[in-house]
Amino acid sequence: MHISFTDRELDVMSVLWAVGPATVAEVRERIADDLAYTTVLTILRTRVMPKIMGLALRTAAVQRIVFRTISQTGIRYRGSPLSEALASLPENGPRPGDRFPWLRLKFQPNGRLEDLYGKLDDTRFTLLVFGQAAPPRGIPELGDRLHIQELPSDPANDRELARARIPRPSFYLLRPDGHIGLAGARLDAAAASRYVSERLRFS
């Protein structure tokens, strides 16, 4: 995959490579020019991140630096090309581009309630599947960069999902920063593969 960066994008990337995980404010402080905070934020969110999304997942160092920095922005990405909603998702629930809500769920039948975010891996995608079986082969284009959580039916889970307006059946593909990339009601393996290959440019 060939990726080119503008001089300004290289300024931002150089800071990240030099200091490691950093907040937007810390990146801004280390750039020679006096850029506004919102300018640095925009460069990270809309220019640097889409370019390196596919490349970043191939090396552990970039995974830690970029995704932990981007995840601190706390901003929705509904208009991003990395966000796609399939049919039958409720408008008042979590949507692609939103950060997935914090939930306490049972991940095993008759198991204990656990913090969902404690189960996420910030170097991999996570596929959350509710009320249906996960595809046997996962999403082949992501390979071992995908972690699948198939949530069991349980009264405690049902109450928590209802509170967050998450329907059954539904699925949510979370990016490493905890934001929803792809979501819908019935999980269509072909649609998930298309999203990964066309939107994220994995093959």
- Tell me: pLDDT of 63 over 90: no
Mean pLDDT taken over the chain: 82
Is 177 part of a structural domain of the chain?
yes
Better-scored residue on pLDDT, 140 or 29? 140
Alpha-carbon distance values, 13 to 8, 31, 44, 59 (Å):
9, 10, 9, 15
The vertex-138 CA angle with 169 and 81, nearest 5°, equals: 75
Q: Mark residue 96 as left, alpha or beta (left: phi above 0; alpha: psi -120 to 50; beta: remaining).
A: beta
Tell me, yes or no, whether 54 and 153 share the same domain.
no
pLDDT band at 73 (very low <50, low <70, confident <90, very high): very low
Tell me, yes or no, whether 19 and 107 share the same domain.
no
Q: In what order do the strands lie in the sheet with 125-130?
A: 84-85, 180-184, 170-174, 125-130, 146-151
pLDDT confidence of residue 161? 95
Q: What is the pTM of this model?
A: 0.64
As beta bridge partners, residue 127 has 148, 173
Is 123 part of a structural domain of the chain?
yes
Tell me, yes or no, whether 113 and 48 share the same domain.
no
Q: Are 67 and 125 in contact (CB under 8 A)?
A: no
Report the pLDDT averaged over residues 130-137: 92
Q: CB neighbours of 163 closer than 8 A, spacing ≥ 6? A: none
Tell me, yes or no, whether 195 and 115 share the same domain.
yes
Is 28 part of a structural domain of the chain?
yes
As beta bridge partners, residue 179 has 99
- Tell me: pLDDT of 74 over 50: no
pLDDT confidence of residue 174? 93
Percent above pLDDT 70 for the chain:
83
- Tell me: pLDDT of 61 over 90: no
Tell me, yes or no, whether 68 and 93 share the same domain.
no
Q: Are 37 and 24 in contact (CB under 8 A)?
A: yes
- Tell me: pLDDT of 71 over 60: no
Better-scored residue on pLDDT, 45 or 195? 195
Is 184 part of a structural domain of the chain?
yes
